[in-house]
Amino acid sequence: MTEKKGILQWKDKNSGLIRAEDKNTYSFDWNCFLYGNLPNGEKVVFTVENNAKAKNIQSEWAVYFKTNVLDLENCDYDDFCDKTCQYAKILKKGKVTTSMIRKVYDQIHRAKTIREIKKLRPQFAYIAGRNQDKPRVKELMNILDDLAKNATEDSKSHLQYIQQFMEAVVAYLKFAGDTDR
């Protein structure tokens, strides 16, 4: 399977097309998303099977954070902050508030080891499941789950990076005008 990037366009509530950077068009069904449906015009990353159908569709945001958060020391930190701010605005549009993620934020902030972060994985699943009508909550919880899964227990920096990411998300969500209802 080949990973590609493109722009999402729904035809109806069950299917649509992705116009890829390679100028090809790939069809998809609603069940091809990793974290829940995304809106028209969303930049996505996806894989293609032999039949030219898009699978494993996720936002570029999810891919960016899953790729960079555990390596913040080597990424452009200003770019990370800018992208987190932009993502917080998207979370706000997706009706995500800090009160929805406050408990996870507090638990991540208090964690002393990666093992404690890994133990939060069921909590991430619970929050995602509780907010089925808010795909952005599910996406954020899946980003956190992926970070927890890929963090190494002997790495103090992984713990700090996950904490910095969550702190930045909450800070920029407040900055974006979260009403915390």
Structural domains of the chain, ranges and CATH numbers in brackets: 2-59 (2.40.50.140), 62-175 (no CATH)
Strand order through the sheet with 2-10: 25-29, 15-20, 2-10, 43-48, 54-59
Cα–Cα distance for residue pair 162/144, rounded to 1 Å: 8
Q: What is the pLDDT along the chain (181 residues), one digit of tens a residue?
A: 678 999 999 999 889 999 999 899 999 988 888 877 888 999 999 999 776 789 999 999 999 999 999 999 999 999 999 999 999 999 999 999 988 898 999 999 999 999 999 999 999 999 999 988 888 999 999 999 999 999 998 888 999 999 999 999 999 999 988 655 4
Question: pLDDT value at position 87?
Answer: 96
Q: Which residues contact 87 (CB under 8 A, 6 or more apart)?
A: 61, 65, 169, 172
User: Which sign does the torsion angle of CA 64, 70, 72, 74 carry?
Assistant: negative
Q: Supply the pTM of this predicted model.
A: 0.89
Closest CA to 120 of 99, 157, 146: 146
Locus of tokens 């009508």: 133
Question: pLDDT value at position 11?
Answer: 92
Q: And the tokens for 25? A: 């068009």
